[in-house]
Structure 1
Amino acid sequence: KADDRIRLIAMDLATHFDNNIDKDLKGMLACDSKLSAIRYKQYLDEVGLFESAIVMSPPDTREGHTEVDERKQPEIQDWWKDNVGSQSEDDYTRGVIERFEKDPDLRLIIVVDKLLTGFDEPQNAVLYIDKPLKQHNLLQAIARVNRLHDQKTHGLLIDYRGILAELDTTLARYDELAAENVGGYDPKDIAGLYSQMSTEYRELPALHKALWAIFEGVKNRSDLQQLRAVLMPRMVEEHGQMVDVNLKRRDDFYEALTKFAACLKVALQSVAFFEDTSFTEKDRATYKETLKQLTSLRQMVMQDTGETVDFDQYAEQVKKLLDRHVAGVKVHESGGLYAVGKMGQKPEDNQPETWSEEKTRNETDLIRTRVTKMIEHEMQDDPYAKEAFSALLRKVIEEAESLFDHPLKQFMLFQEFEDQVANRKLDNIPSVFDGHRHAQAYYGVFLKTLAAINSEQTDAENQRWIDLAFQINQIVDKAVRENSLSRPDMEKAVKKELLPLLFSTGQKAGFGVDKAQEIIEQVIQIMRAGPADTLRG
């Protein structure tokens, strides 16, 4: 019966849409009559996986392909009365379209003829077809799902009427008209418009090979730590700058994995993929396992690089794919967001003595990278500390190289050094500066510029420089507060206060105006990178 057919299609459609269409995307169902549209809505509501809405013409308007006078069908009249009521048709349609564009709860609209032409909504990612469509009308319908959107690479056509053969004929006829120079027909208009799913999933072997080519030379591909070592950050000095030599390789990996996941997603939606004898069950299992393994690797590498992404396009794209098709993988959610950095962590991850040698070396390299970045990028507000810790880093690296056969000792060495860097603890910086980072930086200026402070001096003499550092800190803070809208005024205020103060100090300590000016310029540079940094941009 026709009603049973609609019920079965509605169940299939709802399951496909819920399992395969990302939550930020939407869909459209084109059916052959108003009565069919109402029945589809009824059965989709019974399944209850998402909200849908109907857009159609009034009962007294011919629409679709039915021979029955729909004005005499009470079900259509009742639906119109209950859902449109006293509104005008235009107001009702406009309201549904606005919700479809803006309301994430409304996922699917059901149409007969309306909106199959001229309706452009980039979120529309799939068109379910259960009505005859030919030639220009068919091309117009396809255009409803091929608009660009950040969350989709293609639109899907799901055919319940067997019309895709007509699509091939329509495209061929379009080419013929273009070749005959008939006005209004240009081959560029339909280039790449449509391809069978088989065309897409047959790219899987090449994409799979390209993905694994990134890890060429890895002896054991099942060892996540060996794969991780290929991608984790490695900072080396090139032309006086610290650069991450694995940055491009990671970018290539992210791109290759995203392409592979997108292709596998298409394949696993296609019955033809499971019937295609050019793919064995072993092939399909290998592709799924690769996605599972390298998605875990991707999460690990994102954590290594310090990325704090809670949600991104790849995670949304692959979430349902993993949950439905790949056993043993679940994307953990927290408040509706994907906590990527915490995925895959185990209790033993915080127990270095239980790690394998490969993991221990990876974690050591990771600390080395983190420390290098901290020194290079986070110490712009303390030139002395940056210079001192850079020298210490070189010594730690040398010491670690002598401990090559003892990876756990290497790890502990770098871990201790990381704590020292994070707290900016240096032997010649008095403990009174703990928690006073900017005052410590000003004290560092004295260490860099004044030879006297680096020589033997009494506690009382050293206290003078400590007090001066805190005094400068107060002057800078006051200037920042009082001139927060004008950096030039802020710097003028600092110079005005510091010049007489440093001139007076110089007379007692044995340095002149030139040295005082040098100290002031360094204080200004620290202020720009530290206390006044919030004014940037």
Structure 2
Amino acid sequence: MKEKPPVCEGDAGIDEGGLPEVQKWWQQNVLHPGVDASHQERQVLQDFGTDGDPDLLIVVDRLLTGFDEPRNAVLYLDKPLKGHNLIQAVARVNRLHDAKRHGLLVDYRGILKELDTAIRAYQDLEARTQGGFDIGDLQGLYAQLSTEYRQLPMRHEAVWCFFKDVANRKDAEQLRQALSPRMASDGQGGDYDQRQKLRDDFYAALTAFGLCLKTALSSRGFFEDPGFSEASLEQYKADLKILIQVRQAARSDAMETAEPSEYDEQIRRLIDEQVVGTKARESDGCVMVHKLGVPDVSKTWSQDKARNEADLIKTRLRKSIEQELADDPYAQKVFSELLKTAIDQAEAMFEHPRKQYALLREFERDVDKRATPGMPELLANNPRARAYYGAILLALGDGEAAALDDAKRNAHIDRALAISAVVQNAVAEHSLNAQNIEAAIRKGLLQLLYAPLGLDRANDVIARVLQMTRIGLGQRA
């Protein structure tokens, strides 16, 4: 924690206020000519609640009441306190905040034993509240740090319970496969991932273990506790490192894009600082391991490894088609149908998992490139116009679209390019108002499409183009 200039009273009535060096510091750092000291104090307190400076406040007889900063995580006590004042002081760090699990009290005067006395005094009162506190809220107000770090073996065991069937826990690949997606039919024409809850529970258990280890490493009592050896500590660190990597691989396999939490950041820093020579990093969002440009090593894989990778591709393909092609309904439709055929072909090669993998990997490359079959070469380098051309084909229907001659096909290509121009101009002219964008697109496209397509088909295309535009604007935002 960075130390910043302290905030203190500055008058001779406080304990150290009469010391010359304190008075000199106060004059030099606070009481500048023309500066309102009370205004500066309010500004310091406001800044304390932000990510910037200061990170540490030193106060004397201040901020026990009326000061509520949920980010405040640590309280250093170096002043005798009793009763109501002690409970008020503790309350400065018990506010809920996403970046902390609990507040930390560091007692330099040995006064925390007074907390039990203060709490009993409140409990003996007949009134339900006193001084703003509900008696029920005082139950479990604090706990010794040792009660936290002594949960470490239990947290460690809990996180490994997810891999009880893994033969070699030192093999990250086997750990990864235990969490990899496993799709099953939902009985309603769709499917779901049977291991989604398993992964969610693993992520939660891993976070709890990591934060418990962080608490332990912050406690002198942990290092002095004979129940924890140096070997067990090194094992905890090593396991946290490998399990963080397994979580990253599992999220990648399932194409999960959860935003890192404040706790994730704390665990990252823990590994950086405590696991010597290693830095575990999880990327922002999902890492597409199949797009990293590494050489094809599938020929060296075992049968089980190849089959598992083929299953992962099927899962990725389903999500890619559903999510990444949402702005191109025609490509989404075509690739969804082709995926069913590809999966059928792959299942026919069950005894040859490397061939399964090669077939699905090639199909995945086509999806990544959006190499939609039947798209005109003239639109190859214009993904927006390709999507609009596809919207026209969807409005025509499968039969009429398949029977297009060259003249009609070229006419629809021109219309797709014209649609692209209308949308681009509408977005440029009305960038601050989404309703005006859509109104301009409707007007422009109705004039363009009504005569060649008719009202119903024109409205069909317009509805699809508007949906694509909404998705595109959402991605830009």
Shorter-chain TM band:
0.7 to 0.9
Q: Is the 8 A contact 2:388 2:465 kept in 1?
A: no
**Residue number in structure 2 paired with 1:28:** none
Partner of 1:276: 225
| Aligned 8 A contact 1:201 1:264 in 2 | yes
Shift of 1:311: 5.1
Counterpart in the other structure of 1:59: 11
Q: Indicate which of 410, 414, 418 corresponds to 1:467.
A: 410
Gaps spanning 5+ residues in structure 2: where? 431-435
Residue 494 (structure 1) shift: 3.0
> Which residue in 1 is equivalent to 2:433?
none
State whether structure 2 residue 320 is matched by structure 1 residue 374.
yes
- Counterpart for residue 151 of structure 1: 99
Q: After the TM superposition, which residues 254-333 of structure 1 pair with which residues of structure 2 at under 5 Å, given as runs? A: 254-307=203-256, 312-331=261-280
Q: Is the 8 A contact 1:55 1:114 kept in 2?
A: no
Q: What's the offset of the Cα at 1:157?
A: 0.6
The amino acid of 1:244's aligned partner reads D
Mapped partners of 1:182, 1:147: distance in 2: 19
Q: Secondary structure at the match of 2:6?
A: strand
**Amino acid of the residue matched to residue 352 of structure 1?**
V
Confirm or deny that 1:487 pairs with 2:444.
no
Q: What residue number does 1:523 align with?
A: 461
Report the CA distance between 1:364 and its aligned residue: 2.9
Q: Is the 8 A contact 2:183 2:193 kept in 1?
A: yes
Q: Identify which of 91, 99, 124 aligns with 2:39.
A: 91
Aligned to 1:243: 192
Aligned partner of residue 195 in structure 1, secondary structure: coil
TM-score (norm 2): 0.83
Q: What secondary structure sits across from 1:110 in the alignment? A: coil
Shift of 1:413: 1.6
Deviations 1:316-348 (A, max 9, x none): 211232133333431459xxxx66767999x99
How far, CA to CA, are the matches of 2:181 and 2:408 in structure 1? 40
- Residue of structure 2 in register with 1:13 after alignment: none
Structure 1 residue runs without a partner (length 5+):
1-16, 18-49, 456-460, 503-515
Who is 2:27 aligned against? Answer: 81
Identify if the C-alpha distance between structure 1 residues 356 and 142 changes in structure 2 by more than 3 Å, giving closer, same or farther: farther
In structure 1, distance between residues paired with 2:180 and 2:359: 20
Q: Which residue of 1 aligns with 2:57?
A: 109
1:204 aligns with 2:147: no
The match for 1:41 is none
SS of corresponding position for 1:54: coil
1:194 is displaced (CA, Å) by: 0.7
Q: How does 1:420-431 map to 2 (within 5 A)?
A: 420-431=366-377
Which one-letter code corresponds to 1:51 in the other structure? E
1:88 to partner: Cα distance: 4.6
**Alpha-carbon contact 1:215-1:227 (below 8 Å) kept:** yes
SS at match of 2:58: strand
The match for 1:397 is 343
Q: Tell me the CA shift for residue 195 of structure 1.
A: 0.7
Cα separation, 2, equivalents of 1:301 and 1:535:
30
Which digits, 9 at most, give the CA deviation of each residue in 1:422-476, with x for residues without a partner? 334355444334234224404633773435x536xxxxx6212321322332453
Identity %: 40
Offset, 1:412: 2.1
1:222 aligned counterpart, secondary structure: coil
Once the two structures are superposed, residues 338-387 of structure 1 have per-residue CA deviations (whole angstroms, 9 ceiling, x without a partner) of 66767999x99544247643554444333222221222234445554433
The structure with the largest alpha-carbon Rg is 1
Check conservation: 2:395, 2:460, Cα contact below 8 A.
no
- Give the Cα separation in 2 of the matches to 1:380 and 1:92: 53
Letter paired with 1:178: L
Change (3 A) 1:348 1:140: same
* Alignment partner, residue 100 of structure 1: 48
Instruction: Label 1:449 to 1:55 Cα distance change in 2 as closer, same or farther (>3 A).
Output: same
Task: Classify 1:370/1:469 alpha carbon distance in 2 versus 1 (closer, same or farther; 3 Å).
Answer: farther
Conserved in 2, the CA contact under 8 Å of 1:51 and 1:107? yes
Q: Kindly state the Cα deviation for residue 162 of structure 1 after the two structures are TM-superposed.
A: 1.7
1:295 Cα shift?
1.0
Equivalent residue letter for 2:344? E
Instruction: State the TM-score, normalizing by the size of structure 1.
Output: 0.75
Q: 1:173 to 1:217 in 2, by over 3 A?
A: same
Pick closer, same or farther for the CA change 1:533–1:303 going to 2, 3 Å.
Answer: closer
Could you tell me whether the CA contact under 8 Å between 1:363 and 1:411 is conserved in 2? yes
What is the distance in 2 between the residues matched to 1:183 and 1:144? 17
Q: Compute the RMSD of aligned alpha carbons.
A: 3.5
